[in-house]
Amino acid sequence: MDYHFVYKDVEGTSTEWDDIQRRLGNLPPKPEIFKPPPFAPSEDPELRLKSKDWIDERTAEELEGLEDDPDIDDNRFLEEYRKRRLAEMQAAARVARFGAVLLITGSDFVREVSQAPSDVWVVVLLFKDGIPGCELLLQCLEELAARYPGTKFVKIISTDCIPKYPDHNLPTILVYNNGAVKGTYVGLHHFGSRRCTPEAVALALCKCDPVLNDGNNTCGLSKNAVVEGESKRLIEKFVKQHEDEEDYSSD
């Protein structure tokens, strides 16, 4: 049986004779070589390569699963970036985990206060309902708790904490760190009495440096930083109050 082999050159190639004949117009122009369209990533958000902005939007759990994602093989920065993002989120969750005044009972005290982590400062308000000084100081602490979410603020009915604790000592603030009492403030006079403000409370708490932590620093803010910030707020409030009084009198 005869076999016939047809040898075919690479597509698009031609002989020198063919090129001469085309220049003379004796042969049609050489057809263009087929080229596939350039690759473009899919617009499907589930299939597109993961960008930095996309990764910034992920939660810690989602970032944990990115190692097996086939869409990120070409992102060389991913591993280092993923570790840094996880560290940032874990640090933020570890430091800024409070932000409000928590009501506790006597049975909660050891767990919530005495056994708090060594890097957490705890401000404890001993109070009773119906005592005006307690209500005023609680309002100040609620504002400070929101301002310094790295510090733990709790409140407890005085006699739940210390049996037979006298009402005339209320309100009382106890400052704890690493299971020990670092500061005691009995009565409202430490904070300006009836003129008590969150800023005055913060400045008094600075005596137990570094109590106040805004959540951006795992070691707490320095005493000077708190004093400077709270003094500025206090001056701004005083100026605004003075301006409001002048406006009222002019009316």
**Span 43-80, pLDDT tens digits:** 444 444 455 666 666 666 666 666 566 555 445 556 66
Amino acid 163: pLDDT: 94
d(CA 16, CA 187): 106
d(CA 249, CA 99): 39
Amino acid 233: pLDDT: 63
Cβ distance 221 to 157 under 8 Å?
Answer: no
Q: Which segments in the chain show pLDDT lower than 50? A: 43-49, 73-74, 218-220
d(CA 169, CA 180): 21
Amino acid 116: pLDDT: 93
CA dihedral (164, 166, 171, 176) positive or negative: negative
Domains and CATH numbers, the chain: 52-95 (no CATH), 101-240 (3.40.30.10)
Amino acid 46: pLDDT: 46
Q: pTM value? A: 0.57
Return the amino acid letter for 137: L
